[in-house]
Structures are given as C-alpha cells and as structure tokens.
C-alpha cells in the first residue's frame, strides 16, 4: 500500500525543506510510505508538504523496484493520479487504486487500513509526532528506527511500551 501523511515541523527545520499542505492546512513535511500486507515499511520518502502524493509516489515506486524487485502489486488511495499507474507499469508493478465503497458512513477500506495503522504506529513515537529533524534524510531514518522498534517488540512478545510497569496496570476484581 502506498500513502502519504503530512506532519507539522518544529522551529529548527529550515524553511526550504518545508511546504504548506493547503488541503490539511499544515505547514511542514510529508511522509510518503509503501508498506507490505502486514504494515511493515518497504520504502519511505520525506518531502515538503507541498509535494503532490503522485510525485512522491513515483519516487517511492523507483525505490521499491530497486530494493524489492519481487513486489508486483501496489494499492494506492484515490488521491493518486493515473500517471502513477503508468509509472508503475513501466517498472513492472501493477498499481491499483483502492476505491471507496458507495455506502454512506464510515467503513474501513480492506487494503487501506493497513497503511493507516502503520501511520498510527509511527505516531506513538514521540520524535515522529512532529518533525523535529533538520534534514529529511534524518526523518526517514527515524521512520526506519521506529519500525525496527515495532518489529523487535513484536518478536519478543512485548505488547506494552517499556515505560509502563506492572504496578501501573489497574487490577480488576472478579
């Protein structure tokens, strides 16, 4: 799944590496991600927020094709234009847009919820809730660090953050 998330930046981030996302009214940077079916990051790109999702998506597809040549299918949300479909086809990747159902009300999209959950995992890390890094490359490294932390907690069976102790968990009476 490919998607992007706009995040605000701190005061120490250079104006040249920021932009304004007019739709979300956010001044900052945008994280473009491609995840696998489990929500683990395969490719990440950090740009100014005024970079369109399609432009970032094309660069991500280039990264994905180079690093993971076995990937042949990518789902995108409705914000991506048809040019990303053609770019993916040139790389041998079938890019399909996950359409919203016609039903009214909230209904999670079967494919899209995976990357939205990944964005939620990233926001649990204090340094990713806002973009504090002076360089976009450092922001990308922080995303990789957060995913390595998430994977190591999953592998060790640790379901709660390490700052929470057994005494913090309320006891329930039977």
61 with 87: CB under 8 angstroms?
yes
Asked if residue 7 lies in contact with residue 26, where contact means CB atoms within 8 angstroms, the answer is yes
Question: For residues 125 and 120, what is the distance between their CA atoms, to the nearest angstrom?
Answer: 9
What does the pLDDT read at residue 85? 92
Burial tier of 58 (Cβ tally within 10 Å: 0-12, 13-18, 19+): buried
Q: How far apart are CA 120 and CA 122, in angstroms?
A: 5
What's the rounded Cα separation, in Å, for the pair 41 and 119?
10
Full DSSP string of 136-165? HHHHHHHHHHHHHHHHHHHHHT--S-TT--
Name 15's Cβ contacts closer than 8 Å, sequence gap at least 6. Answer: none
Per-residue pLDDT, 112:
77
Provide the whole-model pTM.
Answer: 0.79
Residues, the chain, total? Answer: 174
Beta strands in the chain, from DSSP E residues, in sequence order: 2-8, 19-21, 26-35, 41-48, 73-76, 94-97
Domains and CATH numbers, the chain: 2-157 (3.30.420)
> Can you give the pLDDT of all 174 residues of the chain as single tens digits?
999 988 888 777 777 677 777 777 778 889 999 999 888 999 999 998 888 889 999 999 999 999 999 999 999 887 788 899 999 999 999 999 887 767 777 666 667 788 889 999 998 888 888 887 888 889 899 999 999 998 888 888 876 665 656 665 666 655
Is residue 13 a contact partner of residue 29, using CB atoms and an 8 Å limit? Answer: yes
């Amino acid at each position: 799944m490919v998607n992007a998330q706009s995040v605000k930046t701190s005061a120490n981030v250079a104006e040249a590496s920021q932009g304004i996302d007019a739709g979300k009214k956010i001044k900052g940077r945008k994280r473009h991600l491609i995840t696998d079916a489990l929500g683990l990051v395969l490719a990440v790109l950090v740009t100014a927020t005024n970079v369109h999702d399609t432009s970032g998506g094309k660069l991500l597809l280039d990264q994905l094709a180079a690093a993971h040549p076995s990937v042949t299918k990518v789902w995108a949300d409705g914000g991506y234009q048809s040019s990303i479909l053609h770019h993916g086809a040139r790389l041998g990747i079938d890019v399909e847009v996950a359409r919203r159902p016609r039903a009214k009300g909230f209904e999670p999209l079967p494919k899209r919820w995976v990357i939205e959950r990944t964005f939620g995992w990233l926001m649990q890390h204090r340094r990713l809730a806002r973009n504090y890094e002076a360089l976009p490359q450092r922001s990308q490294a922080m995303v990789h660090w957060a995913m390595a932390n998430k994977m190591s907690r999953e592998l060790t069976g640790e379901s709660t953050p390490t700052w929470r102790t057994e005494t913090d968990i309320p006891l329930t009476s039977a």
